[in-house]
Structure 1
Amino acid sequence: MDIKLRKGKADRIVLIDPLVLIVAVILGGVLLIDEYSYVPGLNLGFSTSSFIQKLLAAIILGLLAGRLFLYFHRPLNERSLWHGSVLMDCFRFWSTGIRTSLQNWRITFVLIIMFLLTAIAGIFAWQVAIYRYELGWFILYELLYLLFFVPYILAKLRRFIAILNGSKEISEGNIQNAIQDTGKDALSQLAGYINNMKAGYQSALENQMKSERLKTELITNVSHDLKTPLTSIINYVDLLKKEDLSTETARTYIETLDRKALRLKLLIEDLFEISKMTSGTVELDIEYVDVATLLTQAIAESNTNMGQASHVIRERIAKFPIQAHLDGNKIWRVFENLIGNAQKYSLPGTRIYIYLDESDDMVLFKIQNTSAYEIDFAAEELFERFKRADESRQTEGSGLGLAIVKSIIELHGGEIRVEIHGDQFNVILHLPKQRLIYKS
């Protein structure tokens, strides 16, 4: 039955042409008279099966007549015997439903079982129809089954799998697209419930991001506000150090003030740095860097700063040079933080091993040390801000070192991971040699 004609991109509803009804009524009347003519006295004892067969044939002829009428009344460039026909619509339902069901093997298996059971029932009905000479009922059953029941089931199945796929995307974190379903049945209610849960999850995520942004802004503002008075304190301490202080106690106090002020300065700088990285306002100065030379210099400077330390660094650099497209200052900060952490938290008398190598497109870095403290928490927690391996805080440190390292590595498009085997502590970096996107 022609219900819809498509013209261009817009769809418009077309009622059944009156010619179809006229042809169907005339043919049906002829068939009715023909059936009555078989029985003397025009009684009602005609064959129902034979009448159904002929009536179906009349309806099909009427539909074909209407199809031809619409075909010849259209412009030549819009004529089509298939487009918009009942047969084409049924074929579309069948093909779309089958393609959709194949996306899920469990549903496909159930559909195959249903089809086989229905086919067996149809064959049984056919045998009964042959035995009772009622083939008209069997033909009517098959037409209704193929033209209406199967497309209806496949349409429901297509909507169900669309809801299933939408739920899967939401569970994987893709909350941008809602499940589109405008019906009023149980499937539509299910889609609405899932969309409501998605909206609640999205709202909670936005609130969390807003809270994180406000926290970052607070840290940035506080760090900035602390810089000015701290700079004044450091300057006045320097002036006091130049004065001729009479007592040893006064000089000790000044040295303590100087040391604590410098530590506070470093903490504020770390806070300011991590807040900028978190907010995405850091721009990388990308250039070709010899990572091997950079690492060697960082190791030498760390040995100088630590003085007579109880840790010996053993470096294993595969080759010189190892060129990569990086921000040299930021990578220097990475090496400085990682080596400093290893020296600070390693068991006295143990060695620190540093490895550097390259693959076709990556720079591979690894630092290994033996921890002086028991690590009884997940390795991922070390990347959190203010998290320290020394939870008793007996050593100096802000707890921001690995968080800064992680942010720098991710800005370069690299990966960082921590591996803990007992007291053995490993930090592994993978940095791409080429960076296609320069903007952070």
Structure 2
Amino acid sequence: MAQAHADPSRPPGYARLLRENPNLRRLWYGQVVSQMGDYFSTVAVMALLIERSGERAGTGVALYTVIRHLPLFLLGPAAGIAADRLDRRRILIVTDLLRGVLALAYLVTWAGGPLWVLYAATAGLAGISLFFNTARGALLPTITTRNQLMVANALSAATYGTTLAVGSLIGGVIAGVLGRGTAFVLNALSFLLSAVIIAKIQAPARQREASAGAIAVLGAMHRDIVEGFVAVRRHPALRGLLFLPAAWALGTGAARILYSLYGASLGLETMGELVRNPRDFGIAILYAAMGTGAVAGTFLARRMATRPAEDLVRAIPRALFVDGLGLAALSIVPNLAGAFIVLLIREVGYALWWTSHQTAVMLLAPDTMRGRVFAAQESLMTLALLLSMLTAGPAVDQGGLRAVALAAGGIIIAASILFALWSRTLPRKEPGHFSR
């Protein structure tokens, strides 16, 4: 059950929240352990994939990245049904156990087996993780009070950035010193440890909603997305906000491929004679830059939490420009240290504009349509990400890393300029507020 707080009117800090809510503390421990294991493995998987793909490394990484995103489209409704109809704590335990077993499949490719085993394991882990994350999100409000929930979500976001930075760096060291097989085994063990921790959660009893069936759920999801687009058409301030993430995704989909390829290439150049697996080390360094920038950006974004929607919209173009500039700068950095710096700055810019954007949408969208607006936004953004990834992989193989980085960064910079011009045309209902 959610724990009573000494002063219900004030949200607690992170340390106090974890101390006073043992159920949340166990869920958070499970997140830390499993995400650390994830990044141990991700660094080793990407380096192994690049090494085995040879001259077609760009296409190989693109395929891997697309496989990790497809479950959002294919299994989202099923994961939602499971979270509503089944015991959420049991879903978390079962999915952790399944992931612990399936994660060992990477050892097959590492030992010289075919690449399709790596792709199949990635698809399976991505699908199972979707069920885990959906159940975790549904469980969180039932083990926290209303004041605790916002802090718990912020803690989860900060934990993501921290584990990305620390886990990737440690994973790169482990893969470089002890070998990739060790990283894969530690990842599998992390899921098993997470299951043991989560098993101690005492979730409150609840009424489970009956499901109308998968076909009905898919139909409802389609209607929600269509209604979201209709709602946006009625509110001028939401139009640009809806399409901006999709424009950004056209550039950043390529970035999700470039980071690993750049890290592997620069790691080989910088650490080729010093560590056992220099590609792993290089990828780990750039992933650590992402995590560090995300954490720093999260703390900076908290200062904007109380600003009105107009101020938030005005702040987006500058931060988005920094985001795109950081990606474009990858095309000219000469070494791993330079790449770390520009990616850290880029992730700070991303955290600032994304937080401002999401908050502005929440403030401007009508309460009765807010969920459908976000569904429409996610639909557009995911399609743009997939298109960018599928295009960027072969483009890297043909034109090289630096050309694709410059083009992808240019797309985001252009989006920031167009958004700045668009925001100046918005009508105002009263000083300081956009009209809906």
TM-score of the aligned structures, taking structure 1 as reference length: 0.19
Higher RCO (CA 8 Å, separation ≥ 6 residues): 2
Give the TM-score normalised by structure 2.
0.19
Structure with a larger share of its residues in helix: 2
